[in-house]
A and B are shown apart, each in its own frame.
Chain A
């Protein structure tokens, strides 16, 4: 018997949808087996990580708060990935975005209000975009691989954060902890009454529609898809690949910066050394699990947020470390990348009798 990959005439839509779902289910099944082998109640752990946050209504707002930055960042990253631009430094752009929002807030002192909040968010978008412009410049000018440069800039951003919150921006009333002063109430995002759900969640629900229109209907989205499919065909069609790299890289950074700003204004209200929480990296998984489709990113963002919240729940219920969620997230990425080939190829099993009979 032989197993052969055979190219499909057309990419399979069914597989496009089925593989992410199968990846999540496979991750759950393997999680059960591995935990059982380790002597931990595998079924309980997986239920806690993947299902409990959805079943317990009081956890929904936690899921929403975690999903919002993941979705926003993943939207920007998936646009870049469509153009074969691999920005994996969203974490750094997220940090720089938040810092720029904070800087804008500090510039206004205690003054707040709609306009100031808007300016702070805008500063986050611009900051994230500019941070991503560096790898775009290096790539288009010197052909430096953006995977490396964007990742390295993430560590630079951590240093910038450490310097600012430990030095010029340190809270004078903060008992010498390296952290910014808490935001004045007038500089925070509006919150849904009786909850912790801030305006950023609404942004995360609206942006997928915007990105869908851009990617599926606009000439710019078309340009991004052509450049990503074939740079030569793009040039034939009159599209500038370099400009596309610049644009998608900056949009990716701007979205990460927006997410950082929203997280700062809506949830944390101050920046300390632990501000970078890995959303920028997890969003890469969201983008792939969501098949680089804006609505896919919305759903995948919720799934990943569930594992974050579930990981915390499993910490107390089955006494596994919080970082277990990270292992599950990585497993999902592994399966989705491995099963990607099924969209364009089918598996054919060739019985050995036939091969030998000639």
Chain B
């Protein structure tokens, strides 16, 4: 008889009020296997992983560990078994050192000196570069992730769960991470790798388990499958390509940013330094970059939420608007969608109709004599829901009652249907399932086709490469020279994303 699987799930079912998050899911992970868990948002990946790591308990089904049936009471029990997990969102204290952060996360008390030598040993073994005495707030996102990985590796895990680890990394950092993971797997550690980036799964994983709507769709070999076939299994339908008219030409310059600088907002904010670029009518301009390099500041500076002293720093159709606030800029046709949906783009405890008033009231005449025309707001919210197939009970649904993807569709629709001259969006498809992402991309392309200038700020390179005409990279608050997407080289973009002081310095 062959040796038992490291982890084997059978018939796992988890029910939440109103949803069946996991329905009779079962698969096995062999020792030393890198196993992908694929699925759209809401497919039940997180719930499944949380049950393996002991954060939740399944309603039915069994978990076997090296052939033994187990129940994982809590994460501490999971770690004791040898299950490590690296979360998508790090839990690190910004003001403390790497060493202190790792010490805080250990179940057992280990003297600082022993811990440091163990950390150095683990880092040496896997080629993870990290300085234990650096303060976390000075580290890049990639370095922060390494802390989490080291923290997990110190426990000598037999199964490492990684939740969307590459969403914040540069292409070079992704390569480094893969090297570490492959080494781990060679040593017999199993890896459960959660992602929706199909080319990564093809490059890294031995097996892929695909979930859809809480059910297991397929367990397949990514080497045999194509990215497209896996995507179609994931969404349960055929994938739509972005359709755009061939041989489009751009109009005159619509949005021009000239020598835009803005001081940092708070100690962990990023200052914008001398940013210049031009977006022509009909053009989609992409801004790539690793999170925290000034993307948020750039969106605020363009939307008018952070106005600039110099009016000429931002011009729309030749009119200087740099000094204007958000409301006045909307009057000039500038609309924006920030990355944070709840509490920035929308008020969570307001209805969708009330949220329509937030940004559409002036352009669509929803205020008369100081009074809000509630009927106009409801009608417009209804139109957006209809046009963007937002899943909601109607205009009177609370924004917070919508799923992330649906709220994003609503917010994108709210801005796009206002027919803005300039639209600035940040992370348009973050946390949005593939079907909805395609719809949002198509809507952006269609808006550009009507002659609007669009700026897309995203950390998802694939998204930018497929969507944009021109792109530039933001790093440390500086924007690189724009390049035509057709001619862009992924290596060069990756280096720019890492910044001159980042990856190049590491290479020495």
**A interface list, Cβ under 8 A from B:** 9-11, 213, 217-220, 222, 225-226, 229-230, 232-233, 235-240, 355, 358
Contact = CB atoms under 8 A, between A and B. Distances in A.
Contacts of A235: 305, 326
Contacts of A233: 343-347, 358
Given A220-B370, A226-B347, 20 more contacts: A9-B401, A10-B398, A213-B371, A217-B371, A217-B372, A218-B372, A226-B358, A229-B343, A229-B349, A230-B348, A236-B303, A236-B344, A236-B345, A237-B327, A238-B304, A238-B325, A238-B328, A238-B362, A240-B325, A358-B57
Quick one: which of A213, A225, A235, A240 has the most chain B CB within 10 A?
A: A235
Nearest to B368: A219
B361 interface: yes
Contacts of A222: 354, 357, 372
B349 A237 contact: no
A340 B286 CA distance: 45
B359 A218 contact: no
B406 to A, nearest CB: 14
B348 to A, nearest CB: 8
Interface string B113-126: 00000000000000
A219 B361 contact: yes
Contacts of B79: none
A218 B398 contact: no
Contacts of A358: 57-58, 71
A233 B371 CA distance: 20
Interface in B355-369: 357-359, 361-362, 367
A9 B370 CA distance: 32
Given A11-B349, A219-B361, A358-B57, A237 B326 contact: yes
B413 interface: no
B378 interface: no
Interface of B: 57-58, 71, 303-305, 325-328, 330, 336, 338, 340, 343-350, 354, 357-359, 361-362, 367, 370-372, 374, 398, 401
The secondary structure that dominates the A interface is helix
A232 B344 contact: yes
Contacts of A10: 398, 401
A159 B70 CA distance: 72
B347 A230 contact: yes
A219 B370 contact: yes
A239 B71 CA distance: 52
28 contacts: A9-B398, A9-B401, A11-B349, A11-B398, A213-B371, A218-B371, A219-B367, A219-B372, A222-B354, A225-B347, A226-B350, A226-B358, A229-B343, A230-B343, A230-B348, A232-B340, A232-B344, A233-B343, A233-B345, A236-B305, A236-B326, A236-B359, A237-B358, A238-B325, A238-B327, A238-B359, A238-B362, A358-B57
Nearest to B325: A238
Contacts of B57: 355, 358
A228 to B, nearest CB: 10
A238 B345 contact: no
B347 A229 contact: yes
Contacts of B336: 236
A355 B57 CA distance: 9
Contact of A219 (B340, B371, B398): B371
B330 A238 contact: yes
Nearest to A237: B358
Contacts of B367: 219
A106 to B, nearest CB: 37
5 tightest Cβ-Cβ pairs between the two chains A and B: A238-B327, A237-B358, A358-B57, A238-B326, A230-B343
Nearest to B336: A236
A195 to B, nearest CB: 37
Contacts of B350: 225-226, 229
A235 B304 CA distance: 9
Contacts of B71: 358
A9 B351 CA distance: 12
Contact of B374 (A11, A217, A238, A240): A217
B301 to A, nearest CB: 13
A10 B362 CA distance: 28
B249 to A, nearest CB: 33
Contacts of A11: 349, 398
Nearest to B58: A358
B68 to A, nearest CB: 16
A217 B373 CA distance: 8
Contacts of B359: 236-238
A230 B344 contact: yes
Nearest to B361: A219
A219 B368 CA distance: 9
A218 B357 CA distance: 11
Task: Tell which of A222, A226, A233 has the most Cβ of chain B within 10 Å.
Answer: A233
A222 B347 CA distance: 11
A218 B340 CA distance: 27
Contacts of A218: 370-372
Contacts of B303: 236
Contacts of B398: 9-11
B410 to A, nearest CB: 14
Question: Which of A220, A225, A226, A236 has the most C-beta atoms of chain B within 10 angstroms of its own C-beta?
Answer: A236
A47 to B, nearest CB: 39
A248 B71 CA distance: 56
B315 to A, nearest CB: 19
A11 B349 CA distance: 8
Nearest to B359: A237
A225 to B, nearest CB: 8
A7 to B, nearest CB: 9
Contacts of B372: 217-219, 222
Contacts of A232: 340, 343-344
A235 B325 CA distance: 9
A237 B399 CA distance: 15
A229 B351 CA distance: 13
B407 to A, nearest CB: 13
Contacts of A355: 57
Contacts of A226: 347, 350, 358
A222 B377 CA distance: 13
A41 to B, nearest CB: 45
B371 A236 contact: no
Contacts of A217: 371-372, 374
Nearest to A348: B17
Nearest to A226: B347
A165 B354 CA distance: 50
Contacts of A219: 361, 367, 370-372
A143 to B, nearest CB: 14
A188 B338 CA distance: 57
Contacts of B343: 229-230, 232-233
A292 to B, nearest CB: 13
Contacts of B358: 226, 233, 236-237
A225 B305 CA distance: 19
Nearest to A235: B305
Contacts of B371: 213, 217-219
A211 B304 CA distance: 31
A358 B57 CA distance: 7
A5 to B, nearest CB: 14
Contacts of B304: 238
A219 B352 CA distance: 16
A178 to B, nearest CB: 45
B75 to A, nearest CB: 15
Nearest to B351: A10
Nearest to A10: B398
B338 A236 contact: yes
A355 B71 CA distance: 12
A54 B330 CA distance: 55
